[in-house]
Amino acid sequence: MIRRLAAVALAGAVAVLACTAASPTPDPGSGGDSASPRAQEYWLSEYGIEKAWDVTEGKGVKIAIIDTGVGHAPELDPAVVDGTDVSGAGSPDGRTPVGPPDEKNHGSYVASLAAGRAAGGDTDMIGVAPQADILSISVGFGGSSQVPFTEQVATAMRWAVDHGAKVINLSFTTNTLSWDESWDDAFMYAYTHDVVVVVAAGNRGSGTDIVGAPATIPGVLTVAGVDPTEHASVEASTQGITIGVAAPSEQLLGVAPGGEVMVWEGTSGAAPIVSGIAALVRAAHPELNAANVIERITKTARLAPGMKKAPSPLYGYGLVDAAAAVSDDVPLVSGGPADELRDWIRVYRRAQVSPQPTPTEKSVQVPPLPHADPVSSPVSALLPDRERVLYGSLPLMAVTAPAILVALGVTVAARRIRSARSSRTPRRTKL
């Protein structure tokens, strides 16, 4: 059963190594080569990796493994060309695994899948890009470091870029979609230096139902996991709209420090398979920038069983195909990871004011405003007030009173005249 290997506070999130506990590979016994480590690497033939080797094995490309540290083993020592520790708990060269016993070999498993060498012959385990170089950067998860995890990752990203990495592998995830703002600059630094960043999608079995950061950061190539039947892994993968491609995540092999080959699973293993393929593409097409390397990997992927169209929240653009990614004709694209992250920052991060306004030496004195007119109490429109009496009622009375008196006088005079006339008229009698 998949279990959580490490946890560390991350802005309310939990950083999780996306893998299970490992177990030793079975002895070949009487089965001979049929049970050898190389024979168990089904992904080499089924995902076009061996065919891609006809063109390139990744020579000259550096893959940075930001993980628990890459230990010493015959399959790993020829591949590791440089390293560092950002946890404060490892060795300066990044070759001392950091963390508790059941977790610290994680970085070695990841590195061996990406670019391990076949130390003892054609039956030994080999990585996807067996001539690529590895940069080992040890990070402390959980209580294995006093340095904040976000700071470790940001420092590791910059160190990897400054030391020539063209592919960075991050086989961990979190349980949140968001990420610390310090990662904005770290990932942008990688993008502007033309680095392909490959990230594990995370595992349902470790409590990650949907992809979490850094798989949600714009510009990364997020990898989901499938089982040997090419169906989405029930325990060793998760889903989300940021997934780019899918790769094997079950019945994987990994080399532990000392050289023992182990069986393990998780998108922690799917990611370095794709990182190795990215190294093959970069070696075959050194003229391509990171955007077009990712374009080749995603657009040449094939549909998974039952997958009707791409992209899919379970498989992204489909199952990765190394041979097609290396050899097919794929139209060039413009833009790239830096543009995607820059647009996201512009929309979702608060804009910074630059330059900041400079305060004046003396404060500005503003004269006081005049007092406001007193507020009168509301009066009914039916009742007279002072203004209505002075400017309405009295002037109206002064005009109308004389007019009324004149009218009355005229009326009285008219009546008197009619009365006088009637008295002077002779009365006529009938004979």
Nearest to 225 by CA among 254, 199, 207: 199
Please give the biggest Cα pair distance in the chain.
Answer: 176
Is-contact 168 197, C-beta < 8 A? yes
Q: Phi, psi (5° rounding) for residue 17? A: -75, 120
SS3 state at 203: coil
Higher pLDDT, 78 or 207: 78
pTM summary value:
0.77
DSSP single-letter state for residue 144: G
| Placement of tokens 């904005």 in the chain | 184
Instruction: Kindly write down the DSSP assignment for every residue of 258-280, as one continuous string.
Output: TS-EEEE-SHHHHHHHHHHHHHH
Confidence of residue 240 (pLDDT cuts 50, 70, 90): confident
CA 69 to CA 6: how far, in whole Å?
Answer: 14
pLDDT, average across residues 403-422: 72
Distances (CA, A) of 137 to 102, 104, 211, 257, 387: 19, 13, 24, 15, 89
Confidence of residue 392 (pLDDT cuts 50, 70, 90): low
Higher pLDDT, 29 or 397: 397
Q: What does the pLDDT read at residue 429?
A: 42
CA 431 to CA 347: how far, in whole Å?
Answer: 123
Q: What does the pLDDT read at residue 203?
A: 78
Q: Are strands 196-200 and 167-170 parallel, antiparallel or unpaired?
A: parallel
pLDDT digits (tens, 9 = 90+) for 307-366: 999 999 999 999 999 999 999 999 999 999 999 999 999 999 976 556 666 666 666 677
CA 86 to CA 28: how far, in whole Å?
Answer: 39
pLDDT digits (tens, 9 = 90+) for 146-189: 899 999 999 999 999 999 999 999 999 877 889 999 999 999 99
CA 322 to CA 399: how far, in whole Å?
Answer: 108
DSSP single-letter state for residue 30: G
Q: Is the pLDDT of residue 112 over 90?
A: yes
CA 259 to CA 261: how far, in whole Å?
Answer: 6
Measure the CA dihedral 330/324/70/213, to 10°. Answer: 50
Is-contact 218 343, C-beta < 8 A? yes
| Placement of tokens 């040890």 in the chain | 138
DSSP single-letter state for residue 68: S
Mean confidence (pLDDT) of the chain:
85
Residue type, 42: Y
DSSP single-letter state for residue 387: H
Q: What does the pLDDT read at residue 176?
A: 84
CB atoms within 10 A of CB 24: 10
Of 32-46, 98-112, 253-267, the one with minimum mean pLDDT is 32-46
Our separate counts of H helices and E strands in the chain read: 12, 14
Rg, C-alpha atoms of the chain = 42
In what helix (H) or strand (E) does residue 334 lie, and over which residues does it extend?
none
Is-contact 278 113, C-beta < 8 A? no
CA 189 to CA 163: how far, in whole Å?
Answer: 13
Q: Are strands 23-24 and 261-264 parallel, antiparallel or unpaired?
A: antiparallel
